[in-house]
Structure 1
C-alpha cells in the first residue's frame, strides 16, 4: 500500500510538471527567448526550437500528462478496491479529480506564469528528450491534427497592427516596464507619418523675417536681438519669401557694409502645409538644411518649420544656450486644472492627460478643437463640457483661442 501511495504522489508531481511546463513554454515571449539565448546558448536554442514547433511541444506535454493521469486513475482504483471495495470508487474518483485539478493544474500553471523563463531553462532538455521518445505518437497525432485542420474553415490570420503595438506600449507603461517619457517617445515615432507640418510649424504671424534689401550692417543687430541663426528674407512683403540667410554668413560679410541680405541669401526649401512631417524631415535631410518655408494651398506663406521642430516631435522640447526657456504648453496646478496654450497640438494634450479627444482629422490644435465644438470663436470664460472633462476659455485674440483651462472628469468645478 505504501508503494501505491508513493507512486500516486510521484505521478501527481509529474502531472504538475507537465502542466506547468506547458504553461511556461506557451507564455514565453520572443524577447524572453532572446534573453535566455544570450545567457544559456544551448538551452536557449532548444527553447526557441520547441517554441517554434508548437505542435510538437503541445503533443509531447499532452501525451505525458495523459499517460500520468491514466496511471493515477489505474493505481488509485486498484488501491481503493483493495481497501474499501468497489463501492468507494466514486468517492476516490472525486478526490483524485480534485487533487489533479488543484495540485496538477491550478498551482503549477500559476507558478509557471510567474516563473516561465526559469522553468523553461531547467526543463527544456527533459521535454526535448521526451519529444524524441514520443515521436511516433506525435507524428500520428500531428497527422490527424493536420487532416482535421484542412477540413475546418480557415480564419484569416491576425496581423499585428499599429493600435496593437501602441496598446502594448501603454500596458508596458502601466506595469512599470516603460517610463512615461519613453512611452510618449514611442508613440511620437509611430505618429511621425501621420502628423502634418501645419501642426508643428511656426505660424506666419510669429515668423521673424527681414527685407532682402536690408544692408547687413543694419540687419546684424536685429538678427542678434532676435536670437535666430537662420532668417527668412522677403521681397515686396513678408508673404514673399525669397530665401534664407545664415547669421554666420552675415558676420563674415561685415567688412562689406554695402552688402545686402539678398546678396547672401540661399534658395529656400519650400513645402506645402499638407505634407506629413516625415516627408519634410527627409527633404531637409537630403538638402542638408535646417529650415523650410511652409506654403498654404493658395501659395501664400503659412509659416516655417525647422529640423529642431521635427526632432522635438519625438524627444520633446529642446533648448540651446541662446534660447529662453518658455513654459510648457501644458501645465497643471495643485487643484487638477491644466492650463493649455491654444496652439498646442491636440495629440500632445492627449499624451499628457492620457485621454483621447474624438475629432475630425483636419483639426490639429486644442484651439481648433474647441472652436469646432463651439461652432464659433468662444468668448473668455466660456465653459465647454465634453465627455473627457471641462474646458474653460481663458484668452482669445480676434481670430484664435490663445489659452484655455481643462480639468478631466465630468464634475469639474471651476477654481
Structure 2
C-alpha cells in the first residue's frame, strides 16, 4: 500500500504535470532535499569561490596573552643576529655596535646548536673600563636562554621569563632546530603597543638625510611629505589612493612584509632598503634616489 513501484505518488505526478515543457526536474528534487536537510548548495558554492581577506594583526591588549602563540610573534630564523662562540672580542664589540642590541645568541657551529646568550653588560664589566687586558673567552660570559615550541601561548612564555629572569627565548621546531627568536620586549609590545627606546627615532623626525640623495625614513612617514622633500614622485596615481605611508608603499610593491636587509628597487629607480622590520610590519627604511651609490 502506498508504494511507488507502478507510477509514483500522486504528489510527484502532479508536480511533473505542472512543470513547464523543457524544464528540468532537478530544482524540484533539490528543493525536496533542502526541506529535508536544510541544504543551501548554490549559496555555499558562491561563497567558496570568494577569496577570504587576510586577517589583520590583533591590536595590543591583554587578550593577546591567551590568544597569540609564540610562532605569531617570533622573529624568523633568517633575521636572527647571533655570534659563534669562537668570535674575537673586537668582532663581538663591533657586532653590538652595528646592531644596537643588548643581548645576542651564541652558537657552537650553526644556529641550530645554540649555547646561550651574551649580554653587553657582562662584556663591558669583564673586558671594558680598563680591565680588558686578559685573554678573551666568550664561554664564561654565556648566560642561559629559554627554548620554547611555537605553539606556546605568549602569556605562558611571559610568565616563564618573569619567574626564571631570562629575557630571551629561541623557538625550536619539531626537529630540534631553531625556528625563531623573541624577547621580553616583543611580548610586552603585544599588550601595551610598540615600545620606543633611546635607539628609536624621535616621533617628530620622520626622516634624516645621511648624505645627498639618501635618507633614513620612518615607515609611518607620509608619502606626500617625503615626496616634497626629495622632489621626486614615488607613488603613482593609483597607489596614492590606497596608501599613505612609506612602509605601505614598499608593502604594496612586494605584496608582503619584507625582511630586514632586503632591498626593493622601484620602476623609477628608487631603492628602498629595509633597515628595521619584524614579521608583522616595516619600521625603518633607507631610501636612495637614482644615481646615489650605496653606503659601504
Larger radius of gyration: 1
TM-score, normalised to structure 1's length? Answer: 0.36
Flag the structure with higher strand content. 2
TM-score, normalised to structure 2's length? Answer: 0.49
